[in-house]
Chain A
């Protein structure tokens, strides 16, 4: 067997074609990102509607676009829809429709989770000071909900970026389409597709890393704020929230969940702890029993463990954040 001789020269000689492709990829990405994420928010609002036809539409939309492959959607818009409405759809339009609607269905579920995660007490409080539902949503719920789901939305954005390659199937001019062209002209598919893959990796990986670092910085800030107060319970809570975010940012949803549940239990503990602290006697004992039930057996040991863990974590985190970002 003869070893294959790699030759990237022909690929780089066609850098202009690649640049045109990259511009096409970026354009499609931005359009689909904006359309998909904003339409997703609208669908999430419709999903909360009390009117059953609206609700049915939203649920049907979400279910349909989540349970069919994107490629089928794009091809349906490209080949099938023009039969129905007598409009010629450009490859760009078909790809935009398919990817945006698909992303809208996925992101609407993300928004919904974010909106649901805001305590109902905030709605009640806002209503009590005379705000209308629209105002409450816009000024109170939305800003908090979006901040909470930002990591999940970033993940969606990365997915959208990867999905843009599907537009090559309907011959929209993007990176992969240009790659196909170069490969067929120069008979060098190996080098061309390697370069295309590397280009996607180089464009996407910093995005993955940056969103992760961003979230970490924010959490580090809130950790550092609580440390000097040396309030074991509050900082333990922050620690747990910190971990939950880190794991979510990494895509470790399982670990994220464990920590989130732990945070819930710690919150329960804090509430019980504060309300029972002034009391003595049997009520106090009952309180401690509750806490034991809520948190597991050895409470103090656990809190101490979390605290020391946190101090170590801050040190490591600083090291990590001070590293220079590199794609590899």
Chain B
């Protein structure tokens, strides 16, 4: 029978806490960066210009290749092209910004397309330009409508950030590996980490569900 002993984990809880904060920081930065990237890609995709297929290609590639391959490409490959030093943090932020941007782009696109065509015509009739219509009329409605899908994707993003441990960015999973090697207590350390992720992600999902219900009550939301 295995004798569980959590005391080495508690003694080093500061290490895990640092990792957890780094995970949240990375997820937040990637999210804040990913939203404008996604919006830009969606608008480019919807435009009738030459950049539309380019945006489509970027979206396709980042949605159909594994995120770990993307991360390795950005961390090990990209510095050679650009001739720069790439820190694990930089590579991680860049990868997840573009990757989640590609997913956000499809969500934004669905939201924009879901606004009735009549609203474009009405805005045109009162003399608004295309940009004005998009900014003042279509986007505010689209963003509200896609909120649940955005929330789901953001939670997915937090789960994907665990991959950065492989390029030794000190996130929660990386700190866990270190701690497991230091204390020779992998069972306790990994179990605690799994629980931390479980609680954090469950809390965020619950928060998302509450927000969703509130927005649905005010009638501004479509179902998922």
Contacts and interface: CB of A to CB of B under 8 A. Distances in A.
Interface residues of B, number: 54
Interface string B66-110: 111110110011101101000000000000000000000011011
Contacts of A192: 77
A205 interface: yes
A59 B79 CA distance: 45
A326 interface: no
B173 interface: yes
Contact of A193 (B73, B176, B198): B73
B223 interface: yes
A75 B60 CA distance: 30
A190 B76 contact: yes
A63 B72 CA distance: 30
A200 to B, nearest CB: 5
B149 to A, nearest CB: 7
A8 B205 CA distance: 44
Contacts of B201: 67-68
Interface string B200-224: 0110010000000000000000111
B45 interface: no
A51 interface: no
A2 B76 CA distance: 18
Given A200-B64, A201-B65, A253 B149 contact: yes
Nearest to B69: A197
Interface string B35-69: 00000000000000000000000001100111111
Interface centre among A2, A158, A189 (most CB of B within 10 A): A189
Contact of B180 (A79, A81, A166): A79
B65 A200 contact: yes
B174 to A, nearest CB: 11
A224 B158 CA distance: 45
Nearest to A250: B106
Interface in B168-201: 173, 176-177, 180, 186-187, 189-191, 193-194, 197-198, 201
Given A183-B76, A253-B224, A254-B110, A176 B186 contact: no
Contacts of B186: 79-80, 83
Interface in A79-97: 79-81, 83-84
Contact of A197 (B73, B190, B222): B73
A303 B60 CA distance: 35
A123 B193 CA distance: 44
B69 A64 contact: no
Nearest to A167: B68
Interface string A180-217: 10010000011111101100110011001000000000
Interface stretch (B6-14, B122-130, B159-167): B159-167
B21 to A, nearest CB: 17
A71 B165 contact: yes
Given A69-B162, A201-B61, A165 B68 contact: yes
Q: Residue among B72, B163, B223 with the most chain A CB within 10 A?
A: B72
Contact of A70 (B70, B159, B193): B159
A218 interface: no
A325 interface: no
A44 to B, nearest CB: 19
B111 interface: yes
Nearest to B195: A68
Nearest to B2: A84
Interface in B123-171: 145-146, 149, 158-160, 162-163, 165-166
B29 interface: no
Interface in A150-169: 158, 162-166, 168-169
A71 B162 contact: yes
Contact of A251 (B66, B68, B106): B106
B222 A165 contact: no
B32 interface: no
Nearest to B60: A205
A84 B224 contact: no
B64 A201 contact: yes
B190 A80 contact: yes
A179 B187 CA distance: 30
A257 interface: yes
B113 interface: yes
A187 to B, nearest CB: 10
B208 to A, nearest CB: 12
A73 interface: yes
Given A83-B186, A189-B77, A254 B194 contact: no
23 contacts: A67-B201, A68-B197, A71-B162, A71-B163, A71-B165, A75-B176, A79-B186, A79-B190, A80-B186, A162-B65, A165-B69, A190-B80, A193-B76, A194-B77, A196-B72, A197-B69, A200-B64, A200-B69, A204-B65, A208-B64, A253-B149, A254-B111, A255-B113
Which 9 A-B residue pairs are closest in the complex by CB-CB distance?
A189-B76, A190-B77, A79-B186, A83-B187, A165-B66, A254-B110, A80-B190, A69-B159, A162-B66
